[in-house]
Each structure stands twice: as structure tokens, then as C-alpha cells.
């Protein structure tokens, strides 16, 4: 009987070894189970104690908590109980899984299809005794793999950094004594005391509270500190509404408290985020997918070459083995071993350019991923806003409206009367001056040069006084008494005596309008107190509702000789306003095809107000709550999510579900955030972006990118850079493949026509140096075209080698092969024997074709004159160096012997330049035609719209 009931008890609480499955606990049934007449041995009793979920614990009375955790709420646990519970629950810490050894992580870099293809090429080169090619290919692979490994090794520290937020020490009552312990020593049932400045060491159900306020902004997104209580809760609600629970990692801002530990380590809410983050894998970037696809395409291309060569050789009756050797050699030569290096250099240079713009990129491919990002999900508090409460509106008791500019805890900004826009300083307007004075005196915040101590709301009132040169008004009074704020009465007041005048004591009060107005018998009218009327109360109440509708937090202020004889002074509207430049950034991103969505834990009114002020939404139909997200199926959410711009009252699970739904709908998602509650979404997104100054360690480590100055508008530069990088990679691929195909085709054509080889081994090596060397790699550092930002994000399935690029490659290759083969045919003697002049003319012709081809490959769409001839200095120097090198090979006797060349006449060079420039002229004409056709098409669309 006892065993059956005890099993039922365990089942209800959800205890199942290391993995807890929680189920709501019915209080009545709990009483019945504990009142049964059975006893457990002390060790069994300790092992029966299980962690409670916050929702379950919030509904328990203090007596029920004592029974569930077998603890005396005044004396705490015994050392014996602590030892036994630790055997079940472990230490209060977040333990990461054992990481793979470094050598294994290094070897994983070789899984890239393009790397495997290059290694296969190196192997074939060794078999065919082309050792120079093998060495160059292996060196290229090692450079690429090593750089990628170093980047990956530095960035995968998310879970280790997460443990740093668990505080190292706490105050705990054990055996009736207050002890100072390491936080990792806590177990469920421990009694913990909390005071101002403490970071909460575990999930705790409060049992004693004195004016406790906790900063949960990093966890819930709420800017304002949350008032806590020790009362038992009965209603249903989300985790942000559990006012008798404090969560691991949050901060005590005011008051003190005592409570029972209900969850430690991975069984805390913080631990839930940890487990979600550990389970989440960083998705593969679009560039990585494109490079994988390119590797497969080149592999197929290589096999096709081998097959064609063998088949034609078989038709001609040549030995299959020799034809196979030739085919494999040509296929290896066709593979652009310089491609991974150029991609790496392009990405590294992109990262360095971003660093100059105060954006740190932790993973190289992420730079390019921004080029195809079409949705940016952003946290509100600390990201779109500065997480600094600011007064934006004033309403005096005699009906004057004033507007306040400036953001943050400083004196930058002005107070202007509306509608005249007259700037107010000191007591130039007595009604506004008295209102600001009350807010400054009834205040405990202190603003330093770079710091703020106190509550955000009070700091905002000090900043308001600084803007009116009234911040020193507080020194005119001597405080005699303070009546602190409490969540029950919703106001605070101070009793002061003026320093320089022999006047009676005066009270200053601030708080919720409906509470403050009860203490007021008069209102201020230009410095004269007049009796209050019901009509005036109703009018102010309407104004308060209007401010609340705008998402403002409204405070009422009053002063008077006695608490029951106060004079109403007016209303102050505060909000955590958008950062400077955010509205413009949202507009620019929208124009470039990037949709911005806000995801916040804040209330709907505040979220909607911020969303409307930065241009995200205009009507409430564009908003959705976390509860609605939770109740929707994933497929249903993916359908509706495109219409929603603002998500409010969201938890980390909701944020993750939103990210997944967007990805399911085909979007490339960037997520920006700064808190613990953003960490899972940051890791799950295609691009995680953290704030450098306000961001927690968790968010920074979970992210791929960090905005050093917390400047949201820096994302525009990052998107621009990402789009430019992909275009540069395409430019390089076009150049290198057109060159390699031309070289292959020239050799294959001469072989099939039973002609001598048009190029010797050293000449082919020189061409390879140009193809994979500086002229090619300088295409990867082409400055970002400013017009690229206006282009929509590239599609995720868009391949590097698309149809348009393949056609351009084949066109350039056809011109190069035709022109070079024409020179070879023209210069070859009648006996079809190769002479130094023949190979020199052919060789020089091919090199000049290559350089003109590189010039036109600088852009796929813009003419050389539109780009600017001297924009890419590295390209100019590398081309100039190649020309000087080619002339040296032709005219310097030592090099003539090595390359088997001979001197050419000036007319020969002029003829070759005029011929080889045809590839440049033809490509530029093609671009011009595309521009004309595109302009014509856009004009027709515009006329159709009109």
C-alpha cells in the first residue's frame, strides 16, 4: 500500500532519475499523500526529494514547500541531507558534454567535397608523377583547412561560457546558521537569503520578502525591475507572471528576501535554456552549401572530360591506358585548386573590413551568409532600444504638454513646450519646473560619468532634471524620512526640509496615477494651488490612458506639506526608446529586401509602440503573443508568420519556434539579441548577432557576429559586405574556369588534330601561376559595389555556377580558344613541327587573353568605366606585374632558355593585343546589352504600374 502511494507521489512529481518529466501537482492530492500514516528511512526520504517546476512551486504554500522538501524554513537543511541530495541532483552547475579531441575536429575539416576533390587530384598527380602539381595542391588544401579549423576552434565555446553566469557564492542557512557558500554547493530544499546586488544562485520560491525588486531583463526582456512577493499564487500564467519565484542568473536590485531552492543546475529555468542550446546545432551556411554544390559539379565535369577523351581516343584506335592518363591529367588541371584559397582570402578580408566597422565576425562563412539573409529577427530591449529608460513626454497639472528629446542616462537633449517648441530651462516655466523638481527629489538614483546606480525609472527622472539644469535641486533639501515603494501601495515619498529657507517640511511623492491622486486635494496652476474637481481627475485619467496606449510607463508626481494634503503636479511618460539610427536602418533594410521582425518579452502596448515608432508595423493585426505562438502548430505558424512584424510576451522556447518557422518557410534568418533568453535563438538562427556592450557572455558566445558598439545600423554594412563577397567569388570562378577550360580545350584540340603541343610544360606552369596567382586572387578583393545593397537577397538555392555564369564562362573560353588556336594554326610551319616562334606567339596570345579576361571579370554586370579603372589597386599591380613578367620571359635570354621562347617584334605584340582584347570587348558589349534590356524591362513594368 505504502509503496503504491509512494510510486504515485514520485510519478506526480515527475522524478525519474536524471531526466525529470514534470507534471502539474494538485495541492489537495499532495496533502493526502503526505498525511498518510507511513514513514520512510532518512536516506530514502532525502532521495525522494525532487526539483519542482516554477509553476508548481508558485502554487504551493510555505507549509507545503516545507513538506515537499523535508526542510525547516528557519533552520534549513542538515549537512547529512545536503550530502544525500547531492548524490541525486548533483552540483548546482551546468556541465558541458565532453568535447571531441582537437585532432578529430581538425580532420572533420576535410569532409568538404571540394577539399576531397582536390586531395583526389593530388593523388592522381602523384600517380602520374606530376609532383609539382601534387605539392601545390596539398599546400593549398592545408592552408584552407588550417585557417578554417582555427576559426571553428575559437568560436565553439558557447556552453563553456554559459557556466560563467552561474554566480560563484551565495548566503545559505544550514543547521540553523547563516553560511557563505559556493553557489555550486546548493541542493533542492536549501534556504537562501538574498540582498541588494546578489545574483540569484538557483531557481528559488520566495518565503520571506521585503520590498524585493529583481532585474530580469536578460531573462524576460522586461526593462523595469520585477516586484516580488512571498504569497501563494493560484491563477494560471506564463513564467514572467510568477511573482513569488526568482530565477537563476537574475539580479537583486532592491530589497531583501529569503526562499527555498526549487531547482538547481540543469533543472533550473536557466538550465532549460542550456539544454535547448546544447541540443541546437548551428545550421550550414548558404556559401558552404554552394561550395559543396560547386565541388560536385566540378567532379562531374572532370569525369565527363575523362570519358570524352577516352572515347575519342578509342575511336582513333589509340591505346586506352595512354588516353586514360591524358584524360585524368587534363581533368586534374581543370580543377581550380586556387578556389578554396581565394574564397578563404575573400572571407578573411571581409572579416577585417567588418572589424574596422566595429563588427566582429567569429565564423568566416557567416560574412557571406548575410548576403542572402532576408529576415532579421531582433530582440527589443538592449538591441532595438538602449535598455535605458527615458522620459519622452510631460503633462503638467494645468494642461501644458512638453516633449523631451535625448536618449539615455545623461543630460543630452531638451525639454520643449508644445506646440510652440520653446525650450525650457530651470524654472522658466514654473509648472514644468515643479514637476521635474518633484521627480528629482523623490529619487534614490545616482548618475555618474559612465555609470548609473539605482532604478532605471528614477535615473530617467534625474536625466530629465539634467536636461533642464535642475539636477542640483536635490541638494536644496535635507531628507528627513523616506516611505519606500512597495508593489501593494504603488508609490514612494520623501519628507524634506528646505536648506536655505525657514519653511515647513515638504513631501514629494511619485507613483501610479490612481494611487497618487487619492492623496491630492489641490492641483498646481502656474505655481498657485487650486482645489481639485472630478472633471479634472477624469481629464488626467484620459491623458494617462493615452500615454499608456503609446507604450509609455506613466508616473504621477505631487508635493505638499502633509501626505493627505498633496498638490498634484502632473504626469511623466517614460519608455525605453529606440536607439539612434534604428528607424533608418529598418527602412534601408526593407528597401533592400530584408524584412525586420521584433521578438520581445515585453508587454503588447510597449512592443507595439516601439514597433510603430521604428516603422515595423502600423496596426495591431501585425502583432502576435508568445501564447499564440505556443498554441499554433509549426506548419500553421510558418504560414502566418510572414504577416507578423512584432512578437510580444515571448520566452526562449517561443523565440526558437519562431526562428524554426521562418526557416521552414524558406527564409535565411538573422537573430539579434543581448540576453540569456536570446541565446538559444541566436544559435539556431542562420546568423546570430549579439550586442558587444550590453550583451551577456552567453549571447556573445552563442552568436556568430558581435556588434561592438551595439549599433543596429551596422547590420546594413554587414549585409552589404555579404552581398559583395558572393559577387567577388563568382567573378573569380568565372575567370578561373574560363581560363582552365580554354587551356584544356586548346591542348585537347591539338591532340585530337594530331598537332604538336601548342604549349610546353613551363609555359603551362606560368599560365597556372596567373590563373591561381595574384591576378586571379585580386578579383576576390574587389571593393563592394554600393549598388549591390539595393539588390534583393540572393536565394538560398542559387548556385555559384548558375546558367548565366556558365554561358559567360563558355563564351569567354570559346573566344580565347578560337583566337589562340588561330594564332597557333597561323604560325605553325607546313611540316607541322613546333618552333620557338610558334610556341612564343601562342603562349603570349593565351596570356594576353587571360589578362583581358580578368579585366572584364571584375564585375558581372557593370562596365569597366562604371566601376572605375583604378578602384582595385591590387588587381592593377598584379596585372602590371604579369605583363612585365611575360615580357621578361620573351626578351630576357636566361628566361628564354627556360621557357623556350624567342623575341617578338613590336608589330607582333600590337597584333596580339588587338586580337586578345576581343574577349574584353565582347564581354563588355554583352553587359551593355543586358543593361539596356534591363532598363527597358523596368520601364515597361513602371508604365504598367502607372
Listed in sequence order, the DSSP H helices in 211-268 are: 217-220
Helix axes 714-752, 320-334, angle to 10 degrees: 160
The rounded distance, in Å, linking the Cα atoms of 905 and 911 is: 10
Q: Give CA–CA dist 177/908, Å, rounded.
A: 100
Q: Crossing angle for the helix pair 836-856 and 873-891, nearest 10 degrees?
A: 180
The answer for residues whose C-beta is within 8 angstroms of residue 419's C-beta and 6 or more apart is none
Beta strand extents in 88-240 (DSSP E only): 169-174, 177-182, 191-194, 203-215, 226-227
> What does the alpha-carbon distance between residue 710 and residue 383 come to, in Å, rounded to a whole number?
7
- Tell me phi and psi for residue 772, to 5 degrees: -105, -5
User: Cell 586580337 identifies what position?
Assistant: 915
Strand partners, 938: none
The CA-based diameter of the chain, rounded to the nearest angstrom, is 122
- All three cell numbers of 78, joined, read 542538515
Determine how β-strand 669-673 pairs with β-strand 687-691: parallel
| Residues contacting 288, CB < 8 A, separation 6+ | 112, 365
- The helix or strand, by DSSP H or E, that contains position 153, with its residue range, turns out to be helix 131-155
DSSP letter, residue 90: -
CA distance 236 to 678: 24
Burial (CB count within 10 angstroms: exposed 0-12, middle 13-18, buried 19+), residue 716: buried
Residues marked active site are found at 379
CA-CA distance, 912 to 896, in Å (whole number)?
19
Question: Are the C-beta atoms of 397 and 522 separated by less than 8 Å?
Answer: no
Which residues, other chains included, contact 556 with Cβ-Cβ below 8 Å and sequence gap of 6+?
Answer: 510, 511, 512, 513, 515, 516, 517, 544, 568, 570, 571, 572
Sheet holding 669-673, edge to edge: 359-361, 705-707, 687-691, 669-673, 375-379, 595-599, 646-648, 623-625
Q: How far apart are CA 189 and CA 167, in angstroms?
A: 18
d(CA 387, CA 600): 12
Q: Name 379's bridge partners.
A: 599
**CB contact set of 217 (below 8 Å; sequence gap of 6+):** 223, 381, 382, 387, 675
Q: CA gyration radius for the chain?
A: 36
d(CA 518, CA 732): 75
CA–CA distances in Å: residue 796 to residues 155, 285, 288, 374, 808 = 24, 9, 11, 10, 22
- How many other CB atoms sit within 10 Å of the CB of residue 753? 10
Give the count of beta carbons closer than 10 Å to the beta carbon of residue 591: 10
Contacts of 132 (CB under 8 A, 6+ apart): 765
- Distance (Å, whole) CA 624 – CA 364: 35
> Could you tell me which of 574, 513, 560 has the C-alpha nearest to residue 540?
513
Amino acid at each position: 500500500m505504502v509503496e503504491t502511494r509512494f510510486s504515485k507521489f514520485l510519478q506526480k512529481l515527475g522524478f525519474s532519475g536524471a531526466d525529470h518529466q514534470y507534471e502539474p501537482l494538485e495541492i489537495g492530492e499532495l496533502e493526502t499523500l503526505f498525511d498518510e500514516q507511513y514513514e520512510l528511512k532518512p536516506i530514502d526520504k532525502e532521495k525522494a526529494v525532487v526539483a519542482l517546476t516554477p509553476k508548481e512551486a508558485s502554487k504551493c504554500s510555505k507549509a507545503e514547500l516545507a513538506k515537499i522538501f523535508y526542510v525547516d524554513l528557519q533552520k534549513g537543511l542538515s549537512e547529512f541531507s545536503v550530502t544525500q541530495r547531492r548524490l541525486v541532483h548533483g552540483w548546482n552547475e551546468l556541465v558541458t558534454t565532453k568535447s571531441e579531441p582537437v585532432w578529430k575536429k581538425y580532420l572533420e575539416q576535410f569532409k568538404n567535397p571540394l577539399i576531397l576533390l582536390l586531395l583526389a587530384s593530388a593523388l592522381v598527380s602523384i600517380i602520374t608523377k606530376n609532383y609539382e602539381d601534387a605539392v601545390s595542391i596539398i599546400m593549398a588544401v592545408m592552408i584552407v583547412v588550417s585557417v578554417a579549423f582555427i576559426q571553428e576552434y575559437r568560436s565553439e565555446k558557447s556552453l563553456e561560457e554559459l557556466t560563467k553566469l552561474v554566480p560563484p557564492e551565495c548566503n545559505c542557512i544550514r543547521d540553523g546558521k547563516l553560511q557563505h557558500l559556493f553557489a555550486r554547493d546548493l541542493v533542492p530544499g536549501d534556504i537562501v537569503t538574498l540582498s541588494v546586488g546578489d545574483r540569484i544562485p538557483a531557481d528559488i520560491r520566495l518565503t520571506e520578502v521585503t520590498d524585493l525588486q529583481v532585474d530580469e531583463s536578460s531573462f524576460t526582456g522586461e526593462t523595469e525591475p520585477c516586484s516580488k512577493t512571498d504569497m501563494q499564487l493560484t491563477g494560471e500564467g506564463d513564467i514572467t507572471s510568477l511573482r513569488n519565484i526568482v530565477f537563476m542568473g537574475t539580479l537583486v536590485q532592491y530589497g531583501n528576501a529569503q526562499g527555498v531552492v526549487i531547482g538547481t543546475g540543469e533543472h533550473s529555468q536557466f538550465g532549460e535554456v542550456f539544454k535547448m542550446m546544447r541540443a541546437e546545432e548551428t545550421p550550414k551556411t548558404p556559401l558552404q552549401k554552394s561550395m559543396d554544390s560547386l565541388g560536385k559539379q566540378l567532379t562531374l565535369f572532370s569525369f565527363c572530360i575523362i570519358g570524352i577523351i577516352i572515347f575519342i581516343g578509342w575511336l582513333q584506335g589509340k591505346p586506352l591506358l595512354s588516353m586514360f592518363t591524358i584524360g585524368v591529367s587534363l581533368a586534374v588541371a581543370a580543377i581550380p585548386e586556387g578556389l578554396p584559397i581565394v574564397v578563404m582570402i575573400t572571407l578573411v578580408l571581409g572579416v577585417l573590413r567588418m572589424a574596422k566597422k566595429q563588427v566582429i565576425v567569429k565564423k568566416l562563412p557567416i560574412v557571406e551568409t548575410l548576403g542572402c539573409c532576408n529576415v532579421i529577427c531582433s530582440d527589443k530591449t538592449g538591441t532595438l532600444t538602449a535598455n535605458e529608460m527615458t522620459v519622452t513626454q510631460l503633462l503638467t497639472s494645468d494642461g501644458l504638454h512638453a516633449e523631451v528629446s535625448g536618449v539615455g542616462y545623461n543630460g543630452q537633449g531638451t525639454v520643449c513646450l508644445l506646440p510652440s517648441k520653446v525650450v525650457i530651462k530651470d524654472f522658466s516655466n514654473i509648472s514644468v519646473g515643479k514637476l521635474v523638481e518633484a521627480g528629482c527629489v523623490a529619487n534614490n538614483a545616482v548618475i555618474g560619468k559612465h555609470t548609473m546606480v539605482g532604478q532605471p525609472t528614477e535615473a530617467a527622472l534625474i536625466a530629465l532634471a539634467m536636461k533642464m539644469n535642475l539636477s542640483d535641486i536635490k541638494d536644496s533639501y535635507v531628507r528627513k524620512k523616506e516611505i519606500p515603494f512597495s508593489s501593494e501601495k504603488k508609490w514612494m515619498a520623501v519628507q524634506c526640509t528646505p536648506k536655505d529657507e525657514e519653511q515647513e517640511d515638504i513631501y514629494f511623492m511619485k507613483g501610479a496615477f490612481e494611487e497618487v491622486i487619492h492623496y491630492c486635494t489641490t492641483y498646481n496652476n502656474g505655481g498657485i494651488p487650486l482645489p481639485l474637481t472630478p472633471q479634472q481627475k477624469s481629464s488626467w485619467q484620459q491623458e494617462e490612458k493615452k500615454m499608456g496606449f503609446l507604450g509609455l510607463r506613466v508616473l504621477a508626481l505631487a508635493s505638499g506639506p502633509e501626505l493627505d494634503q498633496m498638490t498634484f503636479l502632473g504626469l511623466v511618460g517614460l519608455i525605453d526608446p529606440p536607439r539612434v539610427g534604428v528607424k533608418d536602418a529598418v527602412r534601408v533594410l526593407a528597401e533592400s529586401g530584408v524584412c525586420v521582425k521584433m521578438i520581445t518579452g515585453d508587454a503588447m502596448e510597449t512592443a507595439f509602440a516601439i514597433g510603430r515608432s521604428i516603422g515595423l508595423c502600423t496596426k495591431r493585426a501585425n502583432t502576435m503573443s508568445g501564447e499564440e505562438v505556443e498554441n499554433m502548430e509549426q506548419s500553421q505558424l510558418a504560414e502566418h508568420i510572414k504577416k507578423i512584424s512584432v512578437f510580444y510576451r515571448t520566452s526562449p522556447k517561443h523565440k526558437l519556434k519562431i526562428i524554426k518557422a521562418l526557416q521552414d518557410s524558406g527564409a535565411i534568418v538573422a537573430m539579434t539579441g543581448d540576453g540569456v533568453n536570446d541565446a538559444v535563438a541566436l544559435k539556431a538562427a542562420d546568423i546570430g548577432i549579439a550586442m558587444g556592450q550590453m550583451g551577456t557572455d552567453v549571447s556573445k558566445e552563442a552568436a556568430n557576429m558581435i556588434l561592438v558598439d551595439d549599433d543596429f545600423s551596422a547590420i546594413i554594412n554587414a549585409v552589404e559586405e555579404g552581398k559583395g563577397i558572393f559577387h567577388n567569388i563568382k567573378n573569380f570562378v568565372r575567370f578561373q574556369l574560363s581560363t582552365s577550360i580554354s587551356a584544356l580545350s586548346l591542348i585537347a584540340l591539338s591532340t585530337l588534330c594530331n598537332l604538336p603541343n601548342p604549349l610546353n610544360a613551363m609555359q603551362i606552369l606560368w599560365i597556372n601561376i596567373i590563373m591561381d596567382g595574384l591576378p586571379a586572387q585580386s578579383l576576390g578583393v574587389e571593393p563592394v559595389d554600393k549598388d549591390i545593397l539595393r539588390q534583393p537577397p540572393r536565394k538560398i538555392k542559387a548556385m555559384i555556377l548558375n546558367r548565366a555564369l556558365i554561358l559567360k564562362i563558355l563564351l569567354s573560353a570559346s573566344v580565347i580558344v578560337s583566337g589562340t588556336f588561330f594564332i597557333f594554326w597561323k604560325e605553325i610551319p607546313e611540316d607541322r613541327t613546333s618552333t620557338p616562334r610558334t610556341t612564343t606567339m601562342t603562349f603570349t596570345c593565351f596570356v594576353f587573353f587571360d589578362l583581358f579576361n580578368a579585366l572584364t571579370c571584375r564585375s558581372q554586370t557593370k562596365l569597366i568605366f562604371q566601376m572605375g579603372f583604378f578602384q582595385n589597386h591590387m588587381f592593377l599591380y598584379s596585372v602590371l606585374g604579369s605583363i612585365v613578367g611575360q615580357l621578361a620571359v620573351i626578351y630576357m635570354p636566361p628566361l628564354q632558355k627556360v621557357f623556350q621562347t624567342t623575341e617578338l617584334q613590336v608589330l607582333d605584340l600590337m597584333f596580339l593585343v588587338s586580337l586578345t582584347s576581343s574577349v574584353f570587348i565582347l564581354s563588355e558589349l554583352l553587359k551593355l546589352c543586358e543593361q539596356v534590356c534591363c532598363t527597358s524591362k523596368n520601364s515597361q513594368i513602371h508604365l504598367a504600374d502607372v
